[in-house]
Amino acid sequence: MNSESCVFLWEKQVDALCIIAMSSKPPLMTVDELRRRIESLEPSAQTHLSYYAKWACALLGCLRERGLVKEEDIARQLGITKASETGARETPFAKNDTVRVKSFDFACTWRKPHLRTPGYIFGQRGVVEEFIGCYANPELVAFADPKLASPKCRLYRVRFLMRDIWTPKGADFGGEDSITAEVYEPWLELDDGSATHGDDGAPAPKRSKVHHHHEHHDHGDHKHVSPAETEENAVNREGAPKAGQHLAEATIRLAVDVANLATKETLRAAIERTESAGQSTLGARIVAKAWCSPEFKARLLEDAPSAIKEAFGAETSNDTAPTKLIVVANSPNVRHLVVCTLCSCYPRTVLGHSPSWYRSRHYRAQAARDPRAILRMFGSEPDASTRVEVHDATADCRFLVLPERPSNTEEMSEDELSKLVTRDSMIGVALCCL
């Protein structure tokens, strides 16, 4: 749970672009719009896309809606050619051709698609009954510029055997019972019967060739590897690309090269500012000062933004939206824990970037349902007599936990004390100690 995953450059770029969009005057996108667009993604995309890939989908939807990028720009960046858009074949399918309906990966879509092919025939084999004609593909028309003519697409009526679609789910079908569906050509491919398919009718995935490197390899005679091997090893350590990475990288190119949301230099500078904020010691300095000054602590618990502004000259509202910081203090009888169950709201200006585990579904669900289990995972579970209070940052408040001061630190200076304060202790999952 408390291990940090690698944050890639594209994730930092998406984060920075969203901040730029939300802090522009007037805002190009709001925090609430970001949330709403993420919530409107397909359920499969919600489950499988990585955190910042979802952000990228939301940003791309915003750029498209504002007219800053066009459908053809998106198609070009995603590698969708005109032929694949129209599904044009040199020759149309003929009556009695055996075809297979392509499967669809909802987890790889940047927005909820408008599909006119029912899911129960994804990956299924059928026979062409007749060619209906050429029509504008509704799956493209639904998102196209109404002023532009949509390319025509061939439409077929395809017959499927019921037993192929629904068996072995126990339905009682006659041997030749069938169902026909109208399917546009982009969804169809000739089936010669040579492909190997799983139970769902979709092609069985190919096994990737992976060479497993183990830490216990004993290289007695040290050997210098070539630059190519070094690069390969680095890629292996990074692991497979995160889900939706290609969508995010396309969005970055569109935002910079087409929408002019930022230049490469302003994007780099925005990332640098964010990373510098992540290295800030402001949160630790706030805690240390509260440990040393009862007056400041009382003021902090009463009105954190004003107290921090007066003592440190720092603003506590997030840069993406006006937020209010609330500080809650641990005591021998009470432990506080911070979470955002709806997304991942976090006091960025005080603590910098949120850790990956804080954004995970597991933490967000478990912290609200079983906070003691979370604290146990981090090795800081309180005894039964200590009350645990969870603070769910579901709107415009951001929370900072004021941990208890460790014992035997009476002679330490404020600067020395600040070095004992950790990010995790200010989220509430850990304690401060010598």
Residues annotated as catalytic (active site), given as ranges: 340, 343-345
Question: Measured between alpha carbons, how far is 310 from 308 in angstroms, rounded to an integer?
Answer: 5
Helical H segments across 129-242, by residue range? 138-141, 162-166, 227-238
- Cβ-based neighbours of 126, under 8 Å, separated by 6 or more: 98, 99, 100, 101, 158, 159, 160, 181
DSSP state at residue 150: P
Question: Measured between alpha carbons, how far is 415 from 425 in angstroms, rounded to an integer?
Answer: 17
| Burial degree of 350 (CB within 10 A; 0-12, 13-18, 19+) | buried
Residue 169: Cβ within 10 Å count: 6
Question: Measured between alpha carbons, how far is 320 from 184 in angstroms, rounded to an integer?
Answer: 43
Question: Measured between alpha carbons, how far is 316 from 319 in angstroms, rounded to an integer?
Answer: 9
CB 403 within 8 A of CB 426: yes
DSSP state at residue 48: H
Question: Measured between alpha carbons, how far is 136 from 134 in angstroms, rounded to an integer?
Answer: 7
Which residue's entry shows tokens 């169902």?
Answer: 179
CB 189 within 8 A of CB 102: yes
Per-residue burial over 353-375, b if 16 or more Cβ lie within 10 Å, else e, is bbbbbbbeeebbebbeeebeebb
Which residue's entry shows tokens 């641990």?
Answer: 330
- To 5 degrees, how large is the angle CA 124–CA 126–CA 131? 130
- Cβ-based neighbours of 269, under 8 Å, separated by 6 or more: none
Residue 411: Cβ within 10 Å count: 6
Question: Measured between alpha carbons, how far is 400 from 403 in angstroms, rounded to an integer?
Answer: 9
Backbone angles phi, psi at 245, to 5 degrees: -60, -40
Nearest to 422 by CA among 398, 408, 406: 406
CB 384 within 8 A of CB 397: no
Q: Which residues does residue 339 pair with via DSSP β-bridges, in sequence order?
A: 392
